Chain A
């Protein structure tokens, strides 16, 4: 699919950059234009995402086969010949979408669009804010469509800076601490990913299309084929020390993004300080980068190690689920509570991934999408109340159900979706993750079901503290949710409801690719067991 001779993935990735350029050219003071340009840019992105959804071929397997990828764009990007000891460096502009990434592309477009409207009442340096938001959007979209590791890494880093500034400049009182913490943490992760990436680069060769000589490559698909590893190179072989090291480096790199216990403490700080729209993006999209990276990079490139670390991953998932839920229960700050609930819910993604079977993987990837929509709603909900009252103390409210009935209605959908009520999308992905994981890790999964009760407990307790009880005199005059806020929340609520009843709309997109991924990982374990 092309427009003006340029592929749809390039468009969807760089439309926000065009918007950013436009925003920067708007003369200062023209706030309306500064707000509407990003709105239009992200809307175009959403339209493109919808076209990708409609033209997506559900039967194609993706992951490790070029033929299975869709909307592929592949071109030589950087090609430096013969820099003395470096040899030839070839980096490709290689993008494509498969069942693993398509839901993430949809999610990114949706959340970015909503985030623009959630940013409507930013008054400090609006122009810079919108420019950063759009740059961030490009970075996120790029990560999900890139199939060249170098390109992937570039987009990965592109996300980092705007996020740093968005928290550090537009954040709350402790924004500097939160921003630098986020930055250093993520940077540490990036360095580890970089290390593994370079090791992979020097281990993998493919024949050059023109000359036929074997050259190093950043092509992710090539890195998934054991035949491409040069004998004797660093990461050649099966289950070697170096391969374990590289896997662990990648794992920590991605784990920081998820975030996985004990690398999670940047998250509550970042969320508490970030403005609403940024929290929405952070929880809605950025956290998925970690699990996406594990599925896109670690699993297919190191299948035997992924298989070997399935049990430790399940244990980590259990800790995330239960520890996150218990920490959430102890919070006084509404936003911090939601942040810890994210940790708990991302644990479900990890649990599904650790299952190494299709049911679990489908659950995990679907949970990534659902967590994106549900947690985005939760942060928007906190934003609504914070804008009005300037406090997030859970005990400061009470009885809002009487003063703000419409708001309470939307909130109820989000809260019950978060606690996994059947009929709403979160339940299905959680249930599939558990059903899949149970077949692989019996007792860890049973232990993890404790999280289901704890989640219900802290969600309902929060609901009771903030919304039920007799109305607090202090907040008697709070206006109910307004049209713009409803506009950001209702589409998400509708998606949560529709996918909760008929999840095939999303699941059908991913099954072919995830079955392939499961096959690859299972093949890896067969390799490891071979003498």
Chain B
């Protein structure tokens, strides 16, 4: 394959899912089976082409970066900059090629799974269309070579996530979750956008290469290292949103309102991994401080969500928090400098976590049908306390689920063992290099927690006896369209796909293909280089493996002791630490906190502003109108009553006050007058003029009369407001205004002349 062929294939791979979306959104009603076969086959073609790209890339161009760009917008000759063009394009490097295959595998298998899972859905065709646009946007993120398209596809992924979470939008909870996901993501996105603005302000380009090259050449964004760090952290904000990191992790568990295959595809394997991918893409420009922030955010996320996962009873919620926790691992891994390990964990996790979700989908599917057959509409088909003993009824689901669980717990011979071990070793190395001991402590503790809550899940769902023995008769294994993806994911969770050595991935093709990029930031603010890191890593490898296996073993033992052998009474313990337990069940009260502060706060502000707009601003407008009216009416009354002196005073007041206004303003003015000063002088001038007018009007024209009259007029005016308006139109007042304007024109002509 030539470079051009690979790039052409990449474009085809990108556009195929878009084709699927376009066909299905417009014609799904007219295609047999609403086009599920069409969407699925398109995605399998995408998958094969992706594998071809990876193959070609690794064999023929192992260390090259293939790129192609085109001019998207041409600003012409921009003053102060010169010719300015915005070039966009796609790139295929090893990172992109691996990610491409990972995304395509999960997407294709989820398509296949959905044929069984979503059968008979109200918007079956629409669902597959949305899967198409999701795959398109996700592949776009993978292939882009610039920040602009990254942001574009980033938001498009947000859109498809919104549409798919809200697939069953008749349910309020689903549409709420969709809205929440989009808005919370947007908060992260504006951080990312601000980061892009900082970079663009200096470099006038969006291209990764050009920006990194310029930084390496010594040009810093807006001239300082602080701004470089800031830009890095702000770009990372995008990842905080999309990868559900603390403090923006709250949307992901709610996103489980979407159909379960969607959770597998978007909210476990691919979209949420986009944040990790973004960090990997921009890793070269991250300073040591930015990486420190990334590390801690990842570690805190991993810890918080693992503790929450222990106390959840909804099968999807447990998996959701487990996902957040694993994403925290990946982010932490990248942050500590274990670049390859972090990205490796993304890949392995994509397979076994997609499998876990599809497995839970299979369980929910079976539970749902069993409950329906029993006419039971109260029991929650997703609550693990209602399950148990499914092992015999659903053997394929059980064995595959067990395989995924072993992988996520980091048991040898699985892919998860390899990747998790590398991250933990990285955290030890990080400790050695920087002295931050909290990171490895959290890392190993979370490894134990993960093994515990995952085995709790397996035991409660599959082992023991079913909660309702009568119901267990109606539970059946899912159809082949659903079990085939499960088996395939289970196979992909095996170590052999990534490394020949079951106890270390360092010799495998993956570690050879994905190498930590060379940092481009100035040496003074860069994190420890790859060589120093490798050396530290070397010391910690064996320690990490022993520790992580110990922790996992303890976790699994505790899970069996508590939920299988019942040696430990979980309820009693929960009762003893009731406040802590409540705290965990309620997910650390993040939702409540945000609701009270951000949501309620915004709503209060909107109400205040609405009041301000209607009462104060419009009040001033209407008030100005009524005062003008009062004055003119008063003048006219005087005129009609022959009280000409009052009219005369009005005129004099007008002339004198204009003169005062002009005099004040112009006498304050000097050659050095600045902007704000100038505006202030204008205000002062006008104010003095107004004051003069008022004094003249009030003093000379008769204080009591005018003020009293004015108030009376105001009241009368307010009372008869609408009536007056109507009459005003009918008596041709509009024409009068225009006549006044004409008169004004003539006066101006005379004046300026």
Query: What mask results when residues 145 to 189 of chain A are scored 1 for a CB within 8 Å of chain B, else 0?
Result: 000000000000000010010001000000011011101100100
Determine the interface band of chain A, counting residues with CB < 8 A from chain B.
Answer: 35 or more
9-residue interface stretch from B52-60, B328-336, B721-729? B721-729
CB distance from B673 to the nearest CB of A (A): 7
The answer for the CA separation of A234 and B669 in the assembled complex, in Å, is 15
What residues of A have a CB within 8 angstroms of the CB of B711 in the complex?
none
The answer for the CA separation of A502 and B74 in the assembled complex, in Å, is 12
| Contact A183:B753 (CB < 8 A) given known A241-B666, A323-B609, A512-B76 | no
Is there an interface contact between B79 and A518, defined as CB atoms closer than 8 Å?
A: yes
What residues of B have a CB within 8 angstroms of the CB of A452 in the complex?
186, 189-190, 193
| Contact A457:B79 (CB < 8 A) given known A245-B682, A265-B617, A438-B197 | no
Is there an interface contact between B152 and A180, defined as CB atoms closer than 8 Å?
A: no
Q: Does A262 contact B (CB under 8 A)?
A: yes
CB distance from B202 to the nearest CB of A (A): 9
Is there an interface contact between B170 and A470, defined as CB atoms closer than 8 Å?
A: yes
Q: Does B373 contact A (CB under 8 A)?
A: no
Instruction: Tell me which of B153, B170, B620, B744 has the highest count of chain A C-beta atoms within 10 A of its own C-beta.
Output: B170
Is there an interface contact between A358 and B78, defined as CB atoms closer than 8 Å?
A: yes
CB distance from B187 to the nearest CB of A (A): 6
What residues of B have a CB within 8 angstroms of the CB of A518 in the complex?
78-79
Q: Does B548 contact A (CB under 8 A)?
A: no
What residues of A have a CB within 8 angstroms of the CB of B159 in the complex?
416, 421
What residues of A have a CB within 8 angstroms of the CB of B201 in the complex?
435, 438-439
CB distance from B533 to the nearest CB of A (A): 34
CB distance from A307 to the nearest CB of B (A): 9
Which residues of chain A from 237 to 258 have any CB-CB distance to chain B below 8 Å in the complex?
239-241, 244-245, 248
CB distance from B80 to the nearest CB of A (A): 7
Is there an interface contact between B722 and A177, defined as CB atoms closer than 8 Å?
A: yes
**Closest residue of B by beta carbon distance from A336:** B610
Instruction: Tell me which of B166, B726, B729 has the highest count of chain A C-beta atoms within 10 A of its own C-beta.
Output: B729
9-residue interface stretch from B175-183, B297-305, B357-365? B175-183
Instruction: Tell me which of B74, B200, B620, B734 has the highest count of chain A C-beta atoms within 10 A of its own C-beta.
Output: B734
9-residue interface stretch from A103-111, A379-387, A503-511? A503-511
What residues of B have a CB within 8 angstroms of the CB of A329 in the complex?
602-603, 606
Q: Does B741 contact A (CB under 8 A)?
A: yes
Q: Does B515 contact A (CB under 8 A)?
A: no
Which residues of chain A from 395 to 423 have any CB-CB distance to chain B below 8 Å in the complex?
399, 401-402, 416, 421-423
The answer for the CA separation of A12 and B183 in the assembled complex, in Å, is 44
The answer for the CA separation of A464 and B173 in the assembled complex, in Å, is 11
Q: Does A359 contact B (CB under 8 A)?
A: yes
What residues of A have a CB within 8 angstroms of the CB of B200 in the complex?
435, 438
The answer for the CA separation of A439 and B80 in the assembled complex, in Å, is 12
Is there an interface contact between B753 and A327, defined as CB atoms closer than 8 Å?
A: no
The answer for the CA separation of A421 and B603 in the assembled complex, in Å, is 24
Please pick, from A85, A191, A446, the residue contacting B753 in the complex, using a CB distance under 8 A: A85
CB distance from B205 to the nearest CB of A (A): 12
Is there an interface contact between B79 and A515, defined as CB atoms closer than 8 Å?
A: yes
Is there an interface contact between B725 and A456, defined as CB atoms closer than 8 Å?
A: no
What residues of B have a CB within 8 angstroms of the CB of A312 in the complex?
675-676, 679
Q: Does A357 contact B (CB under 8 A)?
A: yes
Q: Does B745 contact A (CB under 8 A)?
A: yes
Q: Does B625 contact A (CB under 8 A)?
A: yes
What residues of A have a CB within 8 angstroms of the CB of B189 in the complex?
452
Query: What mask results when residues 120 to 134 of chain A are scored 1 for a CB within 8 Å of chain B, else 0?
Result: 000000000000000
What residues of B have a CB within 8 angstroms of the CB of A476 in the complex?
none
Q: Does A434 contact B (CB under 8 A)?
A: yes
| Contact A202:B753 (CB < 8 A) given known A184-B737, A438-B197, A452-B193 | yes
Q: Does A56 contact B (CB under 8 A)?
A: no
Is there an interface contact between A511 and B76, defined as CB atoms closer than 8 Å?
A: yes
Is there an interface contact between A244 and B741, defined as CB atoms closer than 8 Å?
A: no
B interface residues, how many (CB within 8 angstroms): 79
Is there an interface contact between B726 and A176, defined as CB atoms closer than 8 Å?
A: yes
Is there an interface contact between A464 and B179, defined as CB atoms closer than 8 Å?
A: yes
Q: Does B314 contact A (CB under 8 A)?
A: no
Is there an interface contact between B182 and A456, defined as CB atoms closer than 8 Å?
A: yes
CB distance from B569 to the nearest CB of A (A): 43
Instruction: Tell me which of A179, A187, A198, A401 has the highest count of chain B C-beta atoms within 10 A of its own C-beta.
Output: A198
The answer for the CA separation of A68 and B232 in the assembled complex, in Å, is 44
**Closest residue of B by beta carbon distance from A531:** B671
What residues of A have a CB within 8 angstroms of the CB of B190 in the complex?
449-450, 452-453
Is there an interface contact between B183 and A457, defined as CB atoms closer than 8 Å?
A: yes
The answer for the CA separation of A190 and B187 in the assembled complex, in Å, is 41
What residues of B have a CB within 8 angstroms of the CB of A434 in the complex?
193, 197
Q: Does A445 contact B (CB under 8 A)?
A: yes
Q: Does A338 contact B (CB under 8 A)?
A: no
Instruction: Tell me which of B613, B679, B722 has the highest count of chain A C-beta atoms within 10 A of its own C-beta.
Output: B613
The answer for the CA separation of A262 and B80 in the assembled complex, in Å, is 34
The answer for the CA separation of A476 and B669 in the assembled complex, in Å, is 68
Is there an interface contact between A445 and B197, defined as CB atoms closer than 8 Å?
A: yes
The answer for the CA separation of A311 and B744 in the assembled complex, in Å, is 33
Is there an interface contact between B75 and A511, defined as CB atoms closer than 8 Å?
A: yes
Q: Does B621 contact A (CB under 8 A)?
A: yes
Which residues of chain B from 561 to 620 have any CB-CB distance to chain A below 8 Å in the complex?
602-603, 605-607, 609-610, 613, 617-618, 620
Q: Does B518 contact A (CB under 8 A)?
A: no
Q: Does B522 contact A (CB under 8 A)?
A: no
| Pair count A-B, CB < 8 A | 198
CB distance from B732 to the nearest CB of A (A): 13
The answer for the CA separation of A511 and B73 in the assembled complex, in Å, is 10
| Contact A198:B610 (CB < 8 A) given known A357-B78, A511-B75, A515-B76 | no
| Contact A199:B725 (CB < 8 A) given known A359-B75, A453-B183 | no
Is there an interface contact between B610 and A327, defined as CB atoms closer than 8 Å?
A: yes
Please pick, from B154, B176, B729, B745, the residue contacting A194 in the complex, using a CB distance under 8 A: B745
The answer for the CA separation of A391 and B72 in the assembled complex, in Å, is 44
Q: Does B172 contact A (CB under 8 A)?
A: yes
The answer for the CA separation of A438 and B193 in the assembled complex, in Å, is 11
The answer for the CA separation of A180 and B681 in the assembled complex, in Å, is 33
What residues of B have a CB within 8 angstroms of the CB of A511 in the complex?
74-76
Is there an interface contact between A460 and B182, defined as CB atoms closer than 8 Å?
A: yes
What residues of B have a CB within 8 angstroms of the CB of A467 in the complex?
169
Please pick, from A191, A469, A470, the residue contacting B741 in the complex, using a CB distance under 8 A: A191
**Closest residue of B by beta carbon distance from A452:** B190
What residues of B have a CB within 8 angstroms of the CB of A358 in the complex?
75-76, 78-79, 81, 84
| Contact A262:B752 (CB < 8 A) given known A453-B190, A522-B79 | no
| Contact A168:B682 (CB < 8 A) given known A434-B193, A438-B197 | no
CB distance from A456 to the nearest CB of B (A): 5
Q: Does A331 contact B (CB under 8 A)?
A: yes
What residues of B have a CB within 8 angstroms of the CB of A50 in the complex?
none
The answer for the CA separation of A164 and B666 in the assembled complex, in Å, is 38
Is there an interface contact between B610 and A331, defined as CB atoms closer than 8 Å?
A: yes
| Contact A435:B197 (CB < 8 A) given known A180-B725, A402-B170 | yes
**Closest residue of B by beta carbon distance from A198:** B748
CB distance from A275 to the nearest CB of B (A): 18
CB distance from B731 to the nearest CB of A (A): 13
Q: Does A362 contact B (CB under 8 A)?
A: yes
Please pick, from B155, B179, B741, the residue contacting A461 in the complex, using a CB distance under 8 A: B179
Q: Does B116 contact A (CB under 8 A)?
A: no
**Closest residue of B by beta carbon distance from A169:** B729
Query: What mask results when residues 144 to 172 of chain B are scored 1 for a CB within 8 Å of chain A, else 0?
Result: 00000001111110010010001001101
Q: Does B378 contact A (CB under 8 A)?
A: no
Please pick, from A86, A183, A422, A450, the residue contacting B152 in the complex, using a CB distance under 8 A: A422
Q: Does A308 contact B (CB under 8 A)?
A: yes
Could you jot down 13 A-B contacts, CB within 8 Å?
A86-B753, A168-B729, A241-B666, A245-B665, A327-B606, A330-B606, A357-B78, A423-B152, A434-B197, A435-B196, A438-B201, A456-B182, A508-B74
- Given contacts A198-B752, A311-B675, A504-B73, 11 further A-B pairs with CB under 8 A are A234-B752, A265-B613, A326-B602, A421-B155, A423-B152, A427-B152, A435-B196, A452-B190, A470-B170, A515-B79, A522-B79
Q: Ordered nearest first, which 4 A-B pairs have the shortest CB separation?
A: A422-B152, A330-B606, A330-B610, A468-B175
